[in-house]
Each structure stands twice: as C-alpha cells, then as structure tokens.
Amino acid sequence: MTRFGVLLPVPLTHIFFPICRAYNSPSFAVQLLSIIIALCVPGWHKVRLAPSALSIRKVSGSLTNAVYFVSCPSSTSVPTVLLRIYGSSSDSLISRPRELHTLHVLSSQYHIGPRIYGTFSNGRIEEYFDSVTLAPSDLRDKTLSRWISARMAELHSVDITAVEGPLTVSSLEGKSWEIGVKKNIKAWLPAARQVLAHLNVDENDRAVLHLDAFCAQWSRYMRWVSNAEKAEGSSPRVFAHNDSQYGNLLRLTGQLPEGSPKHHQIVVVDFEYAGPNPLAFDIANHFHEWTADYGSSTPHVLDQSRYPTAEERRNFYRAYLLQSSSSSTDATMLEAVSEASLAQLDRQVRIWSPASHGMWAIWGIVQAKDNVEKGMAEFDYIGYAKRRMEGFFQEIQALGV
C-alpha cells in the first residue's frame, strides 16, 4: 500500500459526478441513483429501480459532512447503504486520499469500520451497519462506556506503519510520526486566518478567537507538555480516532457472530480525523464529547456539568487498560487494575486535554467558511470555536502553564 513512504491510492471506483445537497428535491434522487449504478454498488446495479423508489433519510450528528441512509423499501434484495456528501469546507481540513487509504486498511486488515463501495466528486457510498447511533446519555451508561473504551483500545493496537506508511527522514518528529493534533493545528491555521479576515464577528468573540494570542500560548503549552512527559513519562503514540463523539459510535441491533466479545456491539465510524496521536489525547477528546449534545436547540454549547466524574473516568480507564493487556473487561476483572495505573492515565489525559480544545477551536473557525460563502447557519461554528478556545485557556491555566 506504500512506496518509498508515500501512500498509494486505494483501488476504488471513482466517477467525476457531483450531487447537489438539497436532498428533498426530486433531482437529488435521480442523481443519487445514477451514482449508485455507475459505482456498481453490490445489490443495486443489476436491479431496475425508479428514483421515486428510493428512501433517503438524513442522519443527525455529523458536523463535517451530510450523511444519509439510502434504501429501497419495495425490494428486500436491495441493501441499505450510507451516502456521505462532503462539507464544502472539508477540503481545507481533510486529505480525502489519505482518509480513503485509512478506511481501506482498517476494514480490509483489521475489520474496523465500513467498506467503501465507491466515490464521486463530492462524496462516497459506504457500507451500512444495521444499528442505532448512540445518544448523548448513552456515554454515561457504565457498560456502554466500558465497551467504547475497549473498542478504543483495539483501535489503538493498530500498526501505525500499516496505515501511515514507513517513516521517512522528512516526516520524523524525533523518532516518531508527527502527532495529529500538532499537524492539524499547523495545517488549519492559514485557512482559519482567512475565514476570520472575511467574517463578521462580534468584537468580544474576535478577542477570544485572537489567533496570534492562541499560537503564542499553544507553543508555550507544547513546551510544557514536552517537559511534563520527560519528567513523568509520555503517553504512548497510537493510531487514534480523534473524533469519538456519540454520533460516530453505533450499536449493532442484530446478533453478533458466535464467540464475539460483547463490546463488539459498538462500531466506530467516521475516520476522517484519524491518525497518530497520544492515546491520552484520544481519551481526553472523547471525554469532552460527553459535554456535547448536537441535537439540542443550542448544539454548539458544551455543558461542562456533563464532563465525566472521577469514577466515570476510572470506569473507562479500567476497561481500556484491561483490553490493552488482552484481559477480560467483565466486572470481576475490572477491580484488578492498579490504582497507580489509573492515576497515571488520568494525569496523562489531563495533560493532553487542552490540546483537544485547541484543535477543535481552529476547526470551528475553518468550518465557519460555510456561513460566509453560503449563508448556512445550521450550526454556530463560531460559537463552538469560542467555547473550545475558552476551554483551552481555562485548562492550561489550571495546569499551571
């Protein structure tokens, strides 16, 4: 899959045909059916269907893309598929060839994530899982939280080389891959500056989102993290999901194959931001997602009262550490995890927690480009970025940075 450290393109069928975003319009179904047939999606391309036969249901919870379940209720032989239409700002945030390579490796070698049936100009068709998307309250369920943790530990065991390719001299950060959070912030900052230059932002909000001030504090924080890890031990660098919000976590509704562990009822999807990061960053990022409810009347607001308590974090850590050591995650084994291991992991999560706020603050600014260009206001990206930026400054202050 690689040659001289460079990712080679995944052998997927691609057609140069875009689809409009107005999914309620008659033309949408016509365009979609043409795309599905052209991509030879299994179970679809040999059946004669009218566009009116399609059932298209929009899925909530995805902030970067528009996601839909596509089915044909009149034909039981036609499988449901997932349609993903890329957000107009996503090209500034995501390398689609790299994402497709990641999805291919994870699904073909590790049986993680969906199969990709094909791509078109502004989206792709994916495998559909018979499942329900988790709700915000599900993250607080002790059993589900342990299952999510075990799934995260399994993803973290993926060989980074298989996904990222071998290290080259130009990609070295010491003796490791450049971690995703640093790479993303560096890559996204120019686009964020452009958006703020053209966006009509309240002066108070603009002061919070002052990028020069952020960059100065980010550099200071990164130096502090480096010193802290030298003194206390570093969080292992792993292949991380980096966006494990509840909308990217599914619970299968059918029977698991015989012998499968119970936590395989949880399926992780949407690997757009996946890549090398400290494992503590991935956990910290997930904990921040406990505070979000993207289906509420104020989806950009994060409720800090929902952040996991010490005991809820310990429940997550126990399952993670046991799965990482290939032990059972049942209740009797959970108590065997040492207090020292729990305390160390919690400390590492605290160290990397501000980084999650910083990354998603810059992401929110870039995403606000949609509001500038198209007047789209389904989500208050600037309001979200502001709250993430405030969280970053509050947390580095609490750490004594």
What is the pLDDT averaged over residues 318-328? Answer: 83
DSSP 229-253: HHHH-PPPEEEE-S---GGGEEEE-
**Beta carbons within 8 Å of 193's beta carbon, 6+ residues apart:** 211
What does pTM read for this prediction? 0.88
Burial class (CB in 10 A: 0-12, 13-18, 19+), 263: buried
Does the pLDDT value for residue 374 go beyond 70? no
Distance of CA 95 to the CA centre of its chain: 14
pLDDT digits (tens, 9 = 90+) for 95-118: 888 888 888 889 888 888 888 999
DSSP 12-62: --EE-----S-TTSHHHHHHHHHHHHHTT-TTTTTS---GGG-EEEEESS-
Report all structural domains of the chain as residue ranges with CATH numbers, in order of start: 15-127 (3.30.200.20), 131-399 (3.90.1200.10)
> Do 64 and 272 form a contact (C-beta atoms < 8 A)?
yes
pLDDT recorded at residue 35: 94
* Helix/strand/coil for 336: coil
Cα–Cα dist 145/189, whole Å:
33
Strands (E), 243-400: 249-252, 266-268, 275-278
Mean per-residue pLDDT over the chain, rounded: 88
Name the residue among 212, 252, 263, 217 with its Cα closest to residue 355. Answer: 217
Does the pLDDT value for residue 136 go beyond 80? yes
pLDDT digits (tens, 9 = 90+) for 174-206: 445 689 999 999 999 999 999 999 888 888 889
